[in-house]
Amino acid sequence: MTAVAARASAPARAAPLDVAAVRAEFPVLAGTMNGRPLVYLDSAATSQKPHGVIDRVARFYASENANIHRGVYRLSADATAAYDDARRRVAQFLGAGAPEEIVFTRGTTEGINIVAQSWARPLLRPGDEIVLTTLEHHSNIVPWQLVAAQTGARIRVAPITDAGEVEADAVAALLTDRTRLVALAHVSNALGTILPVTRIAELAHAAGAVVLVDGAQAAPHLPVDLRTLGCDFFVCSGHKMLGPTGIGVLWGRAALLDAMPPWQGGGDMIETVSFDGSTWAPLPAKFEAGTPHIAGAVGFGAAVEYLERVGLEAIGAHEHALLAHATARIGALPGVRLIGTAPAKAAVLSFVMDGVHPHDIGTILDAEGICIRAGQHCAQPLMQRLGVPATARASFAFYNTVDEVDALAAGLLRVREVFG
């Protein structure tokens, strides 16, 4: 995955990244696949993990493991402190107003479903409208379809340009006095398009709507400041941010979260319980029923600390350079057509090759030790709009190198040889 490829210029100038030193911190990158040096170009699906994250999770299980918020003994207190510190670190990284606005979830998908069922379902009435965009991930489509069926609301979809852009005016044209929610990606997982979320949020708020931003593909690579981004809900996943799988974040404005009923019931999300009824714990515990993924949260905290130490400016500059190089190299190959050419892009390169299915491209590259994603990328409506059954997708991270981009180009020439 990715960094800023700004509309008119590269990201802010930063000290050059020592990529060799960075790669030494990611043990999997020193490995091989099918007898070849591993070239991992699938970070939009999940990022690799540095030693610091791996070691932090291992240390928690080795010396701190206990359930949180339940024990008066020292080990439980230490585990609770580590969990709470992770929340504080994530809140700081995202620019949240307070740690209590950060709800730990299993990931982006769960965060969206919480908003759909706890905020939208009680609120929406027949004829109310939810506005999405054509390039959304299924995780930002299906939950809204479910809640629309439950409430009688309807979904309206903003179009995209042939280059894969979402124009703010196209969203504005759909806003009415029945619009209750605008839900959109910050960065497209399939194309890398960076959406004008702040401008769209302004338009949506002027129409009286609430805004949810799917930040799964943005949070590891773009500076995110929730105090200025303009949205009301923001979701992201730890595993795309160098952290463990099964952990993520739902951020919401405190007033909205306070007014929402719990999504799940159980231990730790209650204040009082009797057979006559129960009352709820304050934020964020109200939305964290049961024993959470404590080690995952601790690892997530270590991941954002690592990202801050490397620096998003340095990450952005390096990934911008990778994207520019890959766009030139891959786009010049015979029979290759790039899919998604918006001027504002993150380092995701989707493409098709004449006469070759993307799955075949992926299979041949696998034999060369190269990992890419091939398919519809959980974005079937987008593929239909673009008129392709699927694409091959290379997604870059700051631990990738120009040599790996060149290896991808050489691998695609090998694909061309095989298929003639």
Note whether 193 and 323 are same-domain residues. Answer: no
Place of tokens 């694909």: 415
Whether 392 maps to a domain, the answer reads: yes
Note whether 210 and 177 are same-domain residues. Answer: yes
pLDDT at 15: 72
Note whether 214 and 326 are same-domain residues. Answer: no
- Residues present in the chain in total: 420
pLDDT at 7: 31
User: How many structural domains comprise the chain?
Assistant: 2
Q: Tell which of 275, 308, 341 closes a domain.
A: 308
Q: Tell which of 282, 308, 334 closes a domain.
A: 308
Q: Which of 231, 236, 371, 378 is catalytic?
A: 378
Active site residue 236: no
Note whether 46 and 68 are same-domain residues. Answer: no
Note whether 169 and 295 are same-domain residues. Answer: yes
Whether 400 maps to a domain, the answer reads: yes
pTM over 0.85: yes
Whether 337 maps to a domain, the answer reads: yes
Note whether 65 and 194 are same-domain residues. Answer: yes
pLDDT at 98: 95
Note whether 36 and 111 are same-domain residues. Answer: no
The CATH code of the domain that includes 360 is: 3.90.1150.10
The whole domain housing 397 covers 19-50+311-419
pLDDT at 14: 59
Whether 81 maps to a domain, the answer reads: yes
Whether 99 maps to a domain, the answer reads: yes
The CATH code of the domain that includes 124 is: 3.40.640.10
Note whether 34 and 79 are same-domain residues. Answer: no
Note whether 413 and 286 are same-domain residues. Answer: no
Whether 13 maps to a domain, the answer reads: no
Note whether 366 and 245 are same-domain residues. Answer: no
Whether 28 maps to a domain, the answer reads: yes
Residue 359 neighbours by CB distance under 10 Å: 13
Q: Tell which of 285, 308, 331 closes a domain.
A: 308
Note whether 248 and 286 are same-domain residues. Answer: yes
Note whether 317 and 272 are same-domain residues. Answer: no
Whether 134 maps to a domain, the answer reads: yes
SS3 of the chain: the string is: CCCCECCCCCCCCCCCCCHHHHHCCCHHHHCEECCEECEECECCCCCCCCHHHHHHHHHHHHHHCCCCCCCCCHHHHHHHHHHHHHHHHHHHHHCCCCHHHEEEECCHHHHHHHHHHHHHHHHCCCCCEEEEECCCCHHHCHHHHHHHHHHCCEEEEECCCCCCCCCHHHHHCCCCCCEEEEEEECECCCCCEECCHHHHHHHHHHCCCEEEEECCCCCCCCCCCHHHHCCCEEEEEHHHCCCCCCCEEEEECHHHHHHCCCCCCCCCCEEEEECCEEEECCCCHHHCCCCCCHHHHHHHHHHHHHHHHHCHHHHHHHHHHHHHHHHHHHHCCCCEEEECCCCCECCEEEEEECCECHHHHHHHHHHCCEECEEECCCCHHHHHHHCCCCEEEEECCCCCCHHHHHHHHHHHHHHHHHHC
Segments of the chain scoring below 70 in pLDDT: 1-14
